[in-house]
Each structure stands twice: as structure tokens, then as C-alpha cells.
Structure 1
Amino acid sequence: MHAPVRGRFAPSPSGRMHLGNLFSALLAWLSVRAKGGVMVLRMEDLDPDRCREEYALQLADDLRWLGLDWDEGYGAGGPHGPYRQRERTERYAGAFQALEAQGLVYPCFCTRAERLAASAPHRSDGSAVYPGTCRTLTQAEREQRARTRSPAWRLMVPDRTAGFTDGLQGSYAENLGRDCGDFILRRSDGVYAYQLAVAVDDGGMEISEVVRGRDLLDSTPRQQYLLELLGLPSPEYYHVPLLLAPDGRRLSKRERDLDMGVLRRRYTPEELTGLLAHLAGLLERSTPVRAGELVSRFDWARVRSADVIVDDTILRG
């Protein structure tokens, strides 16, 4: 008998959720509920400067308002806790030490300006691929630089193509060395980086299905490589389309695009769920519906894979 699917919604409590966050949350929830699985709510609150408890509490309240419950996680507990990243640093430290023991971790003293100025190729999102400047420093050079600057710590990646089949986007592959480059595991201020934390959390919480935005598609080979090195299984992935404004800009917290404060004043939970289901391709038109009513007819084959332009009348109300 197969173990039940374990899915998760893992938001960052750095502000009020917006329409795009809810879009991912609804699809993650529907996929797990349609398969009779276990839903986990994890707070990705590693960044001490941006993440606040008040946002986490509001986020949980907004999910409940929309009818999206969870079986384990923030506020509910469970056997794989804690479910807040800021309380899981010992686990990240253990994984970091395991990678160090494999000889794959090295200190990086480059400033942001030096990284951007390096003559390296760029990823599809425009960010520079780290050229490995500090990888070959001698021990004496590292000690000298450490006197004036605290290093970040990077993982060496091989010249190897890594690929997988996404449940919605299809085949995806990239060369870890050429297209990704050695990436940061721990920042210079001691905060563990997103890629390491997510891999450790998904493995440790036995997450078997990850549903998230298409903007994180190219993070997957890095996370799968980390899971491989740490001896942890890789989940199945579904990268859902992004919601875009008519000018092609991605909806975001920073721009406060239809955050939940606005949405809760403008819509009932059923109206908002119907709108999200329509944008996803699950409903032919935006009709009020409860989230639970969509479970029996949910099918990934009906979900759009291309990014979705949100009509200007929705954005303006």
C-alpha cells in the first residue's frame, strides 16, 4: 500500500498574501485533497529582517477564510515539526556539516558588486551565474580575506546536466555548472539560504508533492542535487503559471497587487475561489464556489500551464 501524498504550502510571512499566492495555495490544496493526502503549512521565515509573526498569523487566518485547511504545520503541530524555518536552524546546520564533510563547501568573500561585475553568463531570469571566483583560493588566501570580511558559504556543483519532468510544465533540464553555478548555502550574516532550507525541510517533512509558482522551476535542479547529496528522496513537482498584470508584470507583495486586505473587502470566499479556479482553467467562467466543491473534479490536465494575464478590471475592481 502506497503512503498518502504529502503536499505543502510554504509561504514567506513577509507581508499580506496577494492573488498569485492564493492561486498557488488553492492548486496545492486541491491536488492534495483530490488524492486523499496530507496538507502541510510551513512558514518560510528565515529572513529576520522581513518576516514577522503578525504576518504569519494573518496568513493563516486568510487561508482559513478561503476554506483552505491543513493537517500539519503552523498552529496545528504534527510529527515533523517544528514547521517554522526559524526554529529549524539546527537541522540546516547538520545538513551544512554533512556537505562540508563531503568536501563540497567553500567560503566566498565576493561582494555583491564583484559578483555582478564578474564576466559570467546569466540565467534566464537575468541573474548572474557565479563564476567560481573563490573556489580555488588557497587556505592562506582565505585566512587573509577572513580578517576583513565574513564569508558566505557556497556549494560546489558539477559540470553535469540535471533534469526532471514537471507535472505541469513537462521536461526541464539545465547544466548545474554552466547554467546554475556554485550557489550559496549560508549567507555572510549566518542565515541559511533558501535552497538548503527548502531541500532539508521537504526531505525531513517527507513531502512527496510540491506545487509552487513557475518562477521557481529553475530552483528545482539545485534542490534535487542537495536532496541527492543528503540522501533524501525528491518530491514530484508541479510548477503553476504566474499571474501577470496586463503590462506583463508579475503580481507581487512588494507592489501590493490585490493583497488579501483588498480581496476580502471585495469578494466573498466563494467568489474569490471561483475567480481563482477560472484563472486556473478549472471553471469556464468565474462562478462562486467553495473550495471543497472543486475537489471531486480537480484534474491537473485541466490546469493551464502558460502564464495568465489578469484582466485589468479585476486589478482595478
Structure 2
Amino acid sequence: MQQKQVLLLTKPIKEKAIKELYYKELPSIATICIADLGCSSAELNNLSVVSELIHSIEKARRDLGNGRQQDYQVYLNDLPSNDFNTIFGSLSSFEINLKQEMGDDFGHCFVNGVPGSFYGRLFPNKHLHFVHSSYSLMWLSQVPKGIQDNKGNIYIARTTPPNVLKAYYDQFEKDFSTFLRCRSEEVITGGMMVLTILGRKSDEQYTKESCYEWELFANALNDMVFEEEKLNTFNIPQYTPSATELGLIIEKEGSFTLDQTHVSEVNWEANENQKNKSVNHYDFVKCMRSVIEPLLISHFGDTVIEELFDKYMDIVRVSMAQEKNVFINVTISLTRKE
């Protein structure tokens, strides 16, 4: 639910970027190549993004009086473990709907799945015109090294030592720089990216708005009976950057111009006006479970999962009764330099 709200909040930014790109670079391009990186298997989200982008380009094409049919090549990327079958099962109806909405002068939309990590090369040189990613780039390629001192925590927390904070940032800087470098080889000159990352407003690395959900989860884990070594070696491979940090890394890497930065927030509760708050708590915990359960099973086994999330639900319920909790989203629009 939070992901859907984020896509709605960032829709104007995506539309503005891809229209500007079309007006400047793409009227004569026969096939426009779009990549959605870290798309997951939730076709409602990623195909809705693709549809919105194509609608924006088609409007720009008609505004220019370009009567030539436009073709689209869309790439949906995620890790090889992602279930692409859910997406592929809806593609026929997706293209039929596009043709019905766009009319007889609409061309073709070809969709491919691209399994692989976006921290490496995925596409040929100078192939992509537009790249989108939402709620994926905060995930690191690995748990940072040298964070053994972060005992009792599973992510950045109030008690996290300075050397652990540095290790998390260093890993994110390395990964995000690698992402930018790989995309710089794959995106045409003048091509654009719109990236939304779970982040924070503050330049302080620890803030409740970027860390609190993991602090509460650490409390649930610490309430369970585990070997101390098991607890102390479980860490979340994530980093929630500030807009300032993103800007510094983009400038240092040097391949892209930062055009726009937008910071927004989404409530933990899917619908804060809903009367039955317990349903909202369930939605939030269900969302968190979908994210973290594979990591938990790999580390602790699957026998503890139900009890653990029951404890987490109780802890979240108490927290939500006391205060409003939000996720912070940092959305950036980038253009490939010459």
C-alpha cells in the first residue's frame, strides 16, 4: 500500500521528466527503450508506471503533431529469484488496454523481463532512453563489513557506534556509485532517470523517520529466545540516504546532472482516516513481512516466523497508538551528461 502511495506522489515528477526527454531527444526515435529497475512481482505497480510513462509520451507526440506510430521496448528488472510469471501473465491484457486507450495510431509495446542485479551491467551500451526505479536503491548489495559493534541492533539505531554508521554509508556510496556508473554506459546522452529511494529528511544518519521500523523489529527479535551470536549477526542490508548524500555521490561520480529533488512522506498506515486501525497495523506489518521474511528464514529458519511477527504486531500497535510514524521518500530526476 505504501508503494502505491509513493507511485502516486511521484507521478508528476515522472511525467514531467519523460515529456521533457521526448520533446528534446526522442521525436525521431523509432523505438523508445524504458527500464523499470527493481520492479518486483507486483504487476499492479510496475505496469501502472509503464502505462503512465507511455501515456505521457503519447500525449507529447500528439502535441508535436508527430503522426508516426511510436514503438516501445520495456524492460522489467529484478533479481533472478523474483517471480516474473505474475507479470508475464498480465501482458496480453496490458497491451490490449493500451491500444484501446491510445487509439488506432498507437504502435507496439514489447515487454521483457531482465533478471540480474542493477549493481552490475544489464543492457547494451547507449541503449536506454528512460530509467525508473522505486523503493529499490536503498537495498545494499551486501551487509556492510565491520559492523560487529552494533550489538542488539539490526540496523542503524540510537546506540549504533560511529564506525558502524560510517560502514553503512561507505557501502551505500560504493553501491550507488556503481549503479550510476553502470547506467551511464547504458543510457543515451541526454537520457533520463527518475529514482525514488526510501530515505530521510535529516542529514543525521539516525532519525526515527528512517530507522524506527527496524528498531521496533529489533525489539521483537530480542524478545525471542535466540543464541546471542544469531542475534548479533543479523543485520539489514539497507541504507536510507538524505537528499544531500545523494547529491554529493551524484556529483562525485560525475555521469549525470541532478535536475530535481523532491522529498515526500507516507504514513505507515495505509489509510490514516480508516476507522478500524487494526487493519492498518496489519497492512503495515504485512508489508514489512514481505520485505524481510526471506532474510529471516535464511538466518533463523522458518519455525520462528509466526511468533516473531505476532510480537512485532503487538509492538507496532503500541507505537501507532502513541504517535504518527512516516516513511520519507527522496525522488531525484537525473540527465545523462555528454
TM-score when normalising by structure 2? 0.34
Greater share of residues in strand: 2
TM-score when normalising by structure 1? 0.36
